């Protein structure tokens, strides 16, 4: 087994702190993971992890090796890129289902026009899948909603906000609220509120409504499109992100009304693995998207 493989095992274990999870991520056995770590500890003559039950944490010497292992594996990747520079690069773009459907298609098309010789693969995922892809190092970055309540993302990755959008209250044009210019929090009481099956969206909405002392009946739906369809056909209401409904509002398929004293916003942006150097194409894409907002 090569030194690079041992260092990758070491880095993965340091990140997820579990021999079992490391074995799953690397598609190997737990004894193999243990053997790689033991070989490294024998090689350097020091303990690299403190073991406590099922969890492991880096020792002081382990943290030193972690810094160098990141640099070494980065150099391996850089060397591979240099050796294969004549071959077209493939940029894997991992984005949330929402951003992939409503916000980024035009920008990615423009970027593709700018780099016609390169290959692009857009991966649209739900929030949990994006977390797993980052953890399992299938990508160096993702573009996704940013929630302050997600400590795992906020503490474990570099965060680069791109834009903030408001969650708009929408209803059918046939809804009685069509005749209103302004709503008040009390108007929402006991209404059926359609909400996507996303724990963080639900949490943000419920927290904002509680602060305004609003009591609604929550009805879960599988997607934003399903919510829009049901809102158009009935008397239900929903808080949906701007880019998901702006065309429906322009086409008079939906209406939106402000609620006095109630404003719900959500940030979206890059989530980048810490201590990771983006390759040339990734950096170009990152810069292009940043400048677009």
Note the pLDDT tens digit of each residue in 98-128: 999 999 999 999 998 988 888 888 999 988 8
For residue 28, what pLDDT is reported? 85
Compare 55 and 221 and report the one with higher pLDDT: 221
Do 90-162+268-292 and 164-265 come out as alike in CATH topology? yes
Tell me which of 3.40.640.10, 3.40.190.10, 1.20.1070.10, 3.40.109.10 is the CATH number of domain 90-162+268-292.
Answer: 3.40.190.10
Residue 166 above 90 pLDDT?
Answer: yes
Mean pLDDT on 172-186: 94
Residue 1 above 80 pLDDT?
Answer: no
Pull the structure tokens for residue 245: 């409904």
Mean pLDDT on 164-189: 94
Rounded distance, CA 211 to CA 208, Å? Answer: 5
For residue 201, what pLDDT is reported? 85
pLDDT in tens, 88-99: 568 899 999 999
Q: What does the H/E/C string look like for 224-248?
A: HHHHHHHHHHCCCEEEEEHHHHHHH
Fold for 3-83, please state it. Answer: Arc Repressor Mutant, subunit A (1.10.10)
Classify 164-265 by CATH class. alpha beta
> Domain-by-domain residue ranges, the chain?
3-83, 90-162+268-292, 164-265
Helix (H) or strand (E) holding 140: none
């Amino acid at each position: 087994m090569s030194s690079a493989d041992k260092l990758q095992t070491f880095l993965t274990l340091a990140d997820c702190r579990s021999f079992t999870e490391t074995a799953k991520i690397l598609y190997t056995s737990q004894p193999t993971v243990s053997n790689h770590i033991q070989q490294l500890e024998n090689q350097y003559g020091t303990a690299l992890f403190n073991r406590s039950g099922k969890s492991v944490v880096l020792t002081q010497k382990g943290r030193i090796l972690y810094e160098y292992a990141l640099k070494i594996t980065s150099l391996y990747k850089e060397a591979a890129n240099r050796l294969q520079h004549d071959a077209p690069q493939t940029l894997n773009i991992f984005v949330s289902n929402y951003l992939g459907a409503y916000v980024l298609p035009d920008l990615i098309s423009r970027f593709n026009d700018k780099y016609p010789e390169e290959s692009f693969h857009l991966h649209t995922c739900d929030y949990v899948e994006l977390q797993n892809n980052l953890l399992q190092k299938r990508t160096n970055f993702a573009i996704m909603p940013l929630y302050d309540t997600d400590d795992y993302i906020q503490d474990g990755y570099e965060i680069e906000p791109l834009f903030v959008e408001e969650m708009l209250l929408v209803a059918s044009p046939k809804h009685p609220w069509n005749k209103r210019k302004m709503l008040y929090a009390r108007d929402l009481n006991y209404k059926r509120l359609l909400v996507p099956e996303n724990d963080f969206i639900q949490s943000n909405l419920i927290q904002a409504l509680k602060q305004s002392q609003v009591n609604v009946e929550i009805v879960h739906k599988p997607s934003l499109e399903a919510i829009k369809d049901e809102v158009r056909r009935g008397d239900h209401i929903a808080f949906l992100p701007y880019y998901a409904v702006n065309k429906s509002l322009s086409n008079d398929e939906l209406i939106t009304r402000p609620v006095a004293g109630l404003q719900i916003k959500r940030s979206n942006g890059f989530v980048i693995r810490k201590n990771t150097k983006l390759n040339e194409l990734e950096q170009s894409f990152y810069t292009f998207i940043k400048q677009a907002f």
